[in-house]
Amino acid sequence: MSITIGAHVDQTDPIAEAKARDTTLVQFFLGNPQGYKGPEFKYAGGADGLRADAEASGIDLYVHAPYLVNVATTNNRIRIPSRKLLQQHVDAAAAIGAKGLIVHGGHVDAGDDEAMMAKGFDNWRKAVDATDLKIPILIENTAGGDNAMTRYLDKIARVWDAISKAEGFENVGFCLDTCHAHAGGNALETVVDDVRAITGRIDLVHCNDSRDEFDSGADRHANFGAGKIDADLLAGVVRAADAPVICETPGGATEHVADFAWLRERL
């Protein structure tokens, strides 16, 4: 199969990182993934230089939003900065010509009741409505939390039902993470069909093995063959999704090249 396989890399020189892995696809953060400070460009040529050099090299760029973006929460001290950070990263990712911005589904607080869950889904609608989506945002399924927006299929369906009513919905896609699906308790045998039945699309796959058992709720990635996910299931998800693949597996170029080869052999 001619599926492009790339990796999550350091943001300082994504072009060099792609070439070190002999790939045309990389994902990275723009700034601190654990901070509200906003995006920054560490590439020597700045945003314009990165865009031009990526285009000249035929390399597709994806940006991962900071982990702490949570537009679903009912806590305004988190939700309002999250919405601001989401827009800033959309703008920054668009400036470098990125194909998409990956953002986690977020959650409402533990112990929140059904009414609060409903507000969380509607907060996603409001976030899509309020954000100028210059490039697609790809909502990613997450591994843990009973009150997560995108751990369970029924919750993903409620997010999609809510955001389908928002202006800009056509610029929202889905990123399927295999480790998160496994740890979140979703059967990898059927998860591609299950997600597509809800969203109509899978735009990107995060292909990762898991250090933990099925339905553990633990988000701990492993290199292929070193975790708890059956090799055929990982390859089956990639084959069925038929979308670009990012490996967020441990290590650097050497480990990633080995992971690419492991996956291609099984495709």
Would you list the domain boundaries of the chain?
A: 5-246
User: How confident is the model over 213-241, as a mean pLDDT?
Assistant: 97
pLDDT (0 to 100) of residue 53: 98
User: Is 0.75 surpassed by the pTM of this model?
Assistant: yes
User: How confident is the model over 155-180, as a mean pLDDT?
Assistant: 98
Q: Which fold has domain 5-246?
A: TIM Barrel (3.20.20)
User: How confident is the model over 240-248, as a mean pLDDT?
Assistant: 98
Quick: pLDDT tens for 126-167: 999 999 999 999 999 999 987 999 999 999 999 999 999 999
Position 64, amino acid: H
Distance CA 242, CA 176 (A): 11
Residue 245 pLDDT greater than 90, yes or no: yes
User: How confident is the model over 44-53, as a mean pLDDT?
Assistant: 97
More confidently predicted of 4 and 145: 4
Residue 249 pLDDT greater than 80, yes or no: yes
Quick: pLDDT tens for 16-31: 999 999 999 999 999 9
User: How confident is the model over 184-212, as a mean pLDDT?
Assistant: 98
What's the mean per-residue pLDDT of the chain?
A: 96
User: How confident is the model over 232-259, as a mean pLDDT?
Assistant: 98
Percent of the chain with pLDDT over 90: 95
pLDDT (0 to 100) of residue 242: 97
112: confidence class by pLDDT, cuts 50, 70, 90: low
Q: What are the distances in angstroms from CA 242 to CA 56, 142, 176, 202, 265?
A: 25, 20, 11, 8, 16
pLDDT (0 to 100) of residue 145: 83
User: How confident is the model over 99-115, as a mean pLDDT?
Assistant: 89
Least Cα distance to 99 among 243, 207, 235 occurs for 243
Percent of the chain with pLDDT over 70: 99
User: How confident is the model over 59-67, as a mean pLDDT?
Assistant: 97
pLDDT (0 to 100) of residue 55: 98
Residues 190/181, Cβ–Cβ less than 8 Å: no
Q: What are the distances in angstroms from CA 126 to CA 75, 77, 167?
A: 14, 16, 9
